[in-house]
Structure 1
């Protein structure tokens, strides 16, 4: 009997150690670091039979190539009722299925507009104009819920959802405008955001979707998120754009602001729009967003190697944010190359070809190799 109790005691100890070991191992699992790209132009570019090559000039399938390189997050913008159909719900649903087939994560960017939404333009969908405040709240809830219901029905719910695009000045003007003469309108903005989030949470029964609020500036965003604190909005991620031609070029300021945001608001940080030029040249007649050296960061030349070095710095900076709050980045429009006849497209040519991750011959650039970094 004494031997029996000794064996029982020994078995309990082993079981306890095994349980503790399992718990410890699960706690050591690293959170996913998103290495993403916005491929919202693909539905349009594919209509023009635009092709891409690997670094040796061999023809590739874009989504196949970038996911094999390590891209694990694909962002798509959604316009409510686009005039030409591009970036509408049917486009998003079709491409979301392709994203899922490559086991990549999907980030859905609700613009809540029929066209581009940014800090200077937040026009409500035509179908929502002339509504009352009460009606617009119902509209954003029902629309958000309908979109996600359709995505859920085809098993392509996003991993991350943006409630508006670069909403520094609010969105759905003037209902949710928080700028200029509407600087005291934060409560209406917050109510609209909450209605959209309520729709997400009702569809996301597995509690798997993260909510992101998106500001266009790393250096100027603290005020925005401070204003939202009193409204206790249920969001998970601070999304930021960082384009050095429009913002500070001081790398220490960028790192410091990211750290302050993460520690002050205790939210994850995703640089959801980033880009850098590999050239100051042009490949079409369209003017580019970056065309002069003073628009670039002194530490990184506008060359293929400089573009890659910028991306390496970006990843290091994000991974240095305290408490693993830097969860990744999303390169904006790496595929928006110049191509024959693109003056007929909605973009009227590309103002971006020198910031793509493919050169003027549509060959993959060295910066794509950073997607393989752990």
Structure 2
């Protein structure tokens, strides 16, 4: 009888692991969190009790954490940290709480985004063949350190918001042949650590189908290897309300799946912290748009730095209140 109970218990555990692995992704990028805690920032639940930030996010239905990694970052409070060592520590902490992990490689010493893709200082004078090795070695080294610590990420982003390429000028979209090679080096290094890790290529303005077709048509022509198309969706930055662009986002999500036969995920979304109802509605609509993608090929939605409250970060698209409590806007994750 004990043997039967043991088998049943193992079966239930395996089933729950599989279900968790396949469940809809609801998550947050929390790259600022260790620095916030180090500077004494306190997080509180709605009843005023102090609580660990990841637990607050988990209580609101989140099951995944995204972490950026920089090559040789400085110690600046908001634009530094996120080294390999800090990323490993944070990933281990999140995994211990049952969270799924995404690692976001910027291939820079600080922020990389559509406006800037600066090479790490240590790579500045490297030839293109050396840059290929740099991308492979850095990716492999960070992921190997994570694996040694007991964390195998579920997803890896090769580059952050790269509509214009990365590691400029060599990896600019003005030179797609070289960009394709750099992206493939990141993919190959990731799969060398663990073939099961899914590789994401990430472009901003998720509602802009023309931008996405242009980028991924070129990626296809260069035989770029990847598993998932990652999208950012920030109505704020294009000065439009989500209600004006959500249909375009839906169209683009579906078009990416059909055109390239890839899964899609919103890896960054955010709304204005002082427009709680509007941000709640934005999140609800975004989650619904991704869930509506046929055959479960819309994988999930991640908020960018919801805990990065404005008084600490200066960032007005967080989802946290001045009193240290989560914004009610985040209830959209719990309810959907």
| Superposition TM-score, scaled by structure 1 size | 0.79
Q: Equivalent residue for 1:191?
A: 181
Regions of 4+ moved over 4 Å: none
**By how many angstroms is 1:72 displaced?**
1.0
Matched, 1:101 2:96: yes
Q: Which deviations, in whole Å up to 9, do the C-alpha atoms of 1:132-161 show, x marking residues without a partner?
A: 111111111111111111111011121100
Return 5+ residue gaps in structure 2 as ranges: 1-14
**By how many angstroms is 1:104 displaced?**
0.5
Q: Equivalent residue for 2:226?
A: 235
Distance 1:167 1:357, change over 3 A: same
Distance 2:96 2:293 in 1: 32
Does the 8 Å contact 1:80/1:113 carry over to 2? Answer: yes
Distance 1:203 1:365 in 2: 38
Distance 1:114 1:305 in 2: 36
Greater helix share, structure number = 2
Greater C-alpha radius of gyration: 1
Deviates more, 1:266-275 or 1:361-370: 361-370
Matched, 1:252 2:247: yes
Aligned length: 309
Q: Which deviations, in whole Å up to 9, do the C-alpha atoms of 1:159-194 show, x marking residues without a partner?
A: 10000001111101111111xxxx2x1110011111
Distance 1:149 1:363 in 2: 36
Q: CA RMSD in A?
A: 2.0
**By how many angstroms is 1:91 displaced?**
1.0
Distance 1:150 1:278 in 2: 36
Does the 8 Å contact 2:307/2:326 carry over to 1? Answer: no
Distance 1:68 1:361 in 2: 18
Matched, 1:364 2:336: no
Q: Equivalent residue for 1:13?
A: none
Return 5+ residue gaps in structure 1 as ranges: 1-24, 280-301, 343-348
Question: Aligned match of 1:165 in 160, 163, 184?
Answer: 160
Aligned ranges 1:38-53 → 2 under 5 Å: 38-53=29-44
Matched, 1:316 2:288: yes
Distance 1:305 1:131 in 2: 49
Distance 1:217 1:338 in 2: 23
Q: Equivalent residue for 1:215?
A: 203
Where 2:81 maps in the other structure, the secondary structure is coil
